[in-house]
Structures are given as structure tokens and as C-alpha cells.
Structure 1
Amino acid sequence: MTMSDGRPVIGLVGAGGISRAHLPALLELGSRVLVLRRTGAEALVAAHSEAPVPLEIVDSLAELLDRSDVVDVVTPTPTHLDIVRAALEAGCDVVCEKPLARTAADARELADCAAATGRRLFPAHVVRYFPEYLALKRAVDRGEAGRLAVLRFLRSGSFPASGWFADLEASGGVIMDQMFHDLDQARLIAGPVRSVSALRTRSSRDGHRLEVGHVILTHASGAISQCSGVWGPPSLTFSTEYAVTGDAWTLRHSSLDGGGGAALEDDSSDVLDPYGPYTAQLREFFAAMTGGPAPRVSVEDGVEAVRIAEAALESVATGAPVSLVPEA
């Protein structure tokens, strides 16, 4: 149900924490937004009561799919398969919050469903749109680090409040959820992954859950990536860091101190998007839907990131490295 001026109607499925980042970005696009009635939907819509574009709550997924051109799925990971598949089969293009699905088999099923229905499916790997990571990719592509040898990524924050994150079967824990962005970045920067080794620990302190994960990726190029993720106590400040070392230079960033380094020196307009990463991501997706260039993240990127994270979980379970061979 496209608006009279040609802009698509967008259906938002999910009203949890990440919806508060997606909805303002959707409203920036100037389209009508339909929000599925679920826990938190009324509060989410009320917080944007002054939005200059129409915003409406609908009672059922069937109604939302019938009235939408594009569906943005921001629900818990284990629900992605059924919702995204239903949206694609209803003829909608879909944006899906990371990870695309809880398992690689489910992610592949969604990619195949998109191909079969002729609809577009975009995994929301928003860190690819953050300026410090965009600048890292550009610096590496320009050869500033030289031949890559060791890449280190760290992402820390408090243990999520929503209970489903603590369910390892549902969320995959810190590796499948929080660290997912850094696994995707490692593959983007250093290329295909050939083996994965991982460990994870869970504990509690003063009544607070704690979880730490470490994943080692061996790339086909010979480079090694070390990704670490921490879910800590409520007092732990969210932070990100990287150090990418080659035979010529090390590119560094830390959100705690500004990081400096060559990776942050590029301030060209296509790196520093004035709308912010969530809006930049959605603008790129919507441009692709209307004949623009392909976005920087593809459905195959979404599938491969889930494959890597799932291999890490297998390594945690078995205590052994897991080989990743290219998909047939």
C-alpha cells in the first residue's frame, strides 16, 4: 500500500530496545509507519506522538503485512525465521535486525525464500555504517596497514535486561548476539574465514549475570582475528575497540578514549553520514529497493555471519576448532 507520493508504507514488527533506534530512522524516511501491537508498542508510538508522518498501531501481523510494502523485523532472534518468511511470502521487502536467524540453516532458508519470491532481504548489520568502522575498511583498502596479520576486536556492555538474552538456546549468548558485529567486521576486513575456535564463560557476581566470549578466526589470507565480547554488571559502560595490525601499520580505535590512529582520519562525506548509522543503513536499503546501487551488506553477508557465529558456538560446545568450508 504505497503512499500517494510513491513512498513505501513500512511495517515495524517489534517494540523492544532496538526498536527505539529503528523507529526514528524509519520516520526520517518520511513514510507511513505501521507498528504491530505487542508489548511496548503503545509506549513506543507515544514517544513519537509529534512525528511529522503518520504512525499507527495495527492489531495483527496479517493486517500489517497486507498494508505494508516493507517490513522491518526487530524481534528476538528465534522469531526471525517465521516472521521474515511470512513477510517475504506476502510480497514485502524485508529489513531484519541481526542476526538474520538463530541458525545458519534458517538463515539460508530465508535467503532462498527471498530469491524464490523475488523480494529483497536486507540484514541490519548497522556497525558497517558506523564511521569508525567505515574508516577502518577504507584505510585497509588503501593499504595503510599493509598485509594484514592480526586483528583484535572488543565489545563490552552490561548484560541485557530482557530475559530471553540469558537463554543460550534462544539468543546464542554474547557470541551470537553482541559479538556478532565484530565477527562480521573481521570477515569484511580480512576476508573469508576458514576455521573458528571459541570459548565462553558464564558466572554471576553480586547477583548480576556475567558472560565473556572469545573467538579466534583464521582467515583464508592467513590473517588471524581475535574477537572478544563482555556482558557485565549494570555499571559497565558500553565500549568498542579494535586494533588491526599489518606489516606496515596498526590502525586503532577505542570508544573510551577516541582511539586516534589512521583509521579515524578519513572524514569524507560518505564516511561521516549526517543522519547517523541507523538512518544511513535504512536510506541505503530503501534506495536499493527503488533501483539504486546494492547496499554494502547483502543477504549472503547475513548468512555467512550466522555461519561463523554458529561455528563459534559449536567450538564452545566441543572444545575443538571448527573448519568452515565454502557453501556449495
Structure 2
Amino acid sequence: MADSLKVGLVGAGGIAHPHVAAWQLLGAEVHVFSLDGQAEFAKRYGIAEASELDELIGDCDVIDVCVPTYAHDRVVMDAAAAKRHVVCEKPLSLTHNRAQAMIDACRTAGVQLYPGQVVRYFAQYAAARDAVAAGRIGEPAVLRLSRRGAAPASDWFADPARSGGVLVDQMIHDFDFARWIAGSVASVYAKVIVRGRLATAYVVLTHGSGALSHITGGWGPPSTVFATAFRVSGSRGELSYSSSARSALRWDAPALREGGGMLLPTDFAPPFVAELREFAAAFRGGPAPRVTAEDSLAALDIALAAVQSASSGQPVSPKDVS
């Protein structure tokens, strides 16, 4: 639990809602500062307001950054300068160099920085990782991941200079998951079609192990039902999940005596609660969370390589982005 933590939430937009709800379930005392919607947000959740960002940072133990992506670095840098631990929504920033500077600033200040790569905390995704680590499907060979939802309503998402577009803002979740499952990525090839706010993208990752990840993402019209799915095929079996099917994680292992079946997650906590619970424990000196700022930077590099590939029509190495 986080009952001894005083959390300063920066931002009152869409992603701030699951964050504050999770912190409150964990028992944290939450304060908020936002340039837009602060009073209504504070009233809705019964939390205190700060009149300035500096006031919030000075009064709290942990700063939770939920502002638009283009404003992340300033808040993280200010929090690090004040020696406050930080939670920052994904993506950390819009460039490798800025994200690295944020990580370096927190390390130099002696504070912890954790990224909001919440898909690692969704029960089926976490169970898939556990199954792969336990060798249930052998060596991962081919991953097929998909994610689609309605295009975000806020104008800044439609501006790649402020959000990074669908590759950086949305698909970074699956880039991170693919790397978590199949290891480091050597090259990225991407195709993207954008029509106003709508976008569809297809990305192929070639992992250092030789595994391939085929990833599709998209922002659709307002009627689009949010859905995710994955299929991980290995040398001895396969894992699959679809949010549309409302089923558990499926394990198929025809080459093994076990034959397969349903794999039950070990943690049924809501994803944001599971995520922030791990971060809170780490802030108190507990075990390191399952995700690090360096993991999020690696996922950002994959996303930036995808942006470059979509522009050039050529594969790009994540090592070549800046």
C-alpha cells in the first residue's frame, strides 16, 4: 500500500483519472496541479489543489506526470531538481536525447523514475510473459500484436510534433511488450496511413534473437471499439489472447504432453493499481518494478525508428535514432 506517500499529480486530462483512482485505492494522499480542469478534477476526487507546479513539487514525495507528452521533460526535470521520485506516463518524451536527459537527471539526483508502460500490468500480458519465461512455448519465434481504438479527442494527439502520432503514442505499448517477450530489436520496418485524425500502421520488428514481431495499430472514428490481441508462437507451443473474445490467455502446446489450455493470471488487480503498487513499494526501498525507465526509452527508440522507416520506406535500427 501507499498510505504513507504524498503524491503530486500533474495534469487533469484523460490519463490522470485512472492514476488518481489507483493512488486512492492504494491509500496515498493525492494533490493536483493542472493548467486545465484542475478545480473540477480536485472536486470530483476530493483531493487538494496546488496553486503552482513548484508548490506541488515542494509539498509531495512523489510526482506523477500526466500532462501531454510534449510537456513531460520540464516537469520531470523540475521534480528531479527537487529530489522527488517520479512516475511519468509513456512515452517519456518525443526524442531519445530528451528522454535520456530525463533519466540522467533523476539518476544524478538520486531519485527513482518509473514509466507508465501499463500494458506490462494487464493480467493476460503479464501471464504471457511469465509463461514464456517458464519455457512453456519454447523459444519465441513469431509475435502478432494488435491494438486499435477511437482517435483521441484532444487536438494535440493529432499533431505528431506534440504526440508522436499513433506509432509513438499508442503502439509504444506493443513495442514494449514485444521487446519484453522476444528481446532487443535490431531493425524496424513500418508503413503508416494517416487521414486527418485517423491512422493505421503496420510495423515489423526483427529481434536480435531472429524472432519477428508483426504489430498493427490504429486510431479510428469515434465509434471504434477499443480492442487488443496478441499471439506468441514459439518452438514448442503458442500463447494467444483477444480482448474481443473476453477470454483468458490461451496456451496451445500440441508438441507437449500437457496439450495446452487456459492460463490463469496470478494477479487480478486492476492494471493501474498493480503498476502504481509496484512503484510505491520501490519508492520505499522494496523490490525493483518489472519495468524501468530504460525499458521505456528502448520502446521509444523502437517507435522513433518506426517513424523514420515509415518516412523513408527503409528498415531503421533503433540504435540510429536521436
Letter in 1 for 2:37: G
CA contact (8 A) 2:228 2:242 kept: yes
Letter in 2 for 1:317: S
Q: CA RMSD in A?
A: 1.8
Please state how far the C-alpha of 1:6 moved relative to its aligned partner: 7.8
Structure 1: give runs of 5+ residues left out of the alignment.
Answer: 50-54
Distance in 2 of aligned mates of 1:136 and 1:37: 37
Given candidates 77, 82, 99, the residue that maps to 2:69 is 77
Q: Does 1:262 align with 2:265?
A: no
Q: How many residues align?
A: 311
CA–CA distance in 2 between the matches of 1:196 and 1:240?
21
Q: CA deviation at 1:265?
A: 3.1
Equivalence map 1:38-53=2 (5 Å) = 38-49=35-46
Q: Determine the C-alpha separation between the residues in 2 that align with 1:258 and 1:37.
A: 36
2:183 aligned residue: 191
The answer as to whether partners of 2:188 and 2:306 remain within 8 angstroms in 1 is: yes
Is this contact kept in 2: 1:217–1:225, CA < 8 A? yes
SS at match of 1:47: helix
Query: Matched residue of 2:49: which SS?
Result: strand
SS in 2 for 1:195: strand
1:23 is aligned to 2:20: yes
2:278 — aligned with what?
A: 284
Q: Deviations over 1:223-253 (max 9, x none)?
A: 0001110100111100000011112222110
- For the 8 Å contact 2:301–2:319, the answer to whether it is kept is no
Q: Deviation per CA, 1:144-166, whole angstroms, max 9, x where unpaired? A: 22222110100010010000000
Alignment-mate amino acid for residue 272 of structure 1: D
Contact 2:304 2:318 in 1 (8 A): no
User: Deviation at 1:303?
Assistant: 1.2
Q: Are 1:172 and 2:161 counterparts?
A: no
Q: 1:74 to 1:229 in 2, by over 3 A?
A: same
CA contact (8 A) 2:191 2:309 kept: yes
TM-score, normalised relative to structure 1 = 0.91
Note the C-alpha offset of 1:266: 3.3
Identical columns (%): 43
Shift of 1:213: 1.1
Secondary structure of 1:99's counterpart equals: coil
CA shift at 1:73, angstroms? 0.2
2:219 aligned residue: 231
Alignment map for 1:1-328 (pairs within 5 Å): 7-49=4-46, 55-203=47-195, 209-260=197-248, 261-262=250-251, 265-267=262-264, 271-274=266-269, 276-325=270-319
Aligned-partner Cα distance in 2 for 1:210–1:277: 27
- 1:107–1:302: 8 Å Cα contact kept in structure 2? no
What is the rounded CA distance, in whole Å, between the counterparts of 1:181 and 1:31 in structure 2? 26
CA distance in 1, matches of 2:41, 2:268: 26
Aligned counterparts of 1:164 and 1:100: Cα–Cα separation in 2: 16
Aligned residue type for 1:40: G
Distance of aligned partners of 1:265 and 1:86 in 2 relative to their CA distance in 1, 3 Å threshold: same
Partner of 1:52: none
Equivalent-residue separation in structure 1 for 2:100 and 2:17 (angstroms) = 28
Q: CA deviation at 1:326?
A: 9.4
**Are the aligned partners of 1:139 and 1:145 in contact in 2 as well (CA < 8 Å)?**
yes
8 Å CA contact retained: 1:155, 1:179: yes
Give the drift of 1:184.
Answer: 0.2
Letter in 2 for 1:262: W
> 1:45 corresponds to which letter in structure 2?
A
Q: Secondary structure at the match of 2:245?
A: coil
Contact 1:99–1:302 under 8 Å retained in 2: yes
Shift of 1:31: 2.3
What secondary structure does 2:132 align onto?
helix
Q: Distance in 1 between matches of 2:159 and 2:179?
A: 27
Contact 1:194 1:217 in 2 (8 A): yes
Equivalent residues of 2:140, 2:181 under 8 A apart: no
Report if aligned partners of 2:88, 2:115 keep a CA contact under 8 Å in 1.
yes
How far does residue 37 in structure 1 lie from its aligned partner after superposition? 3.7
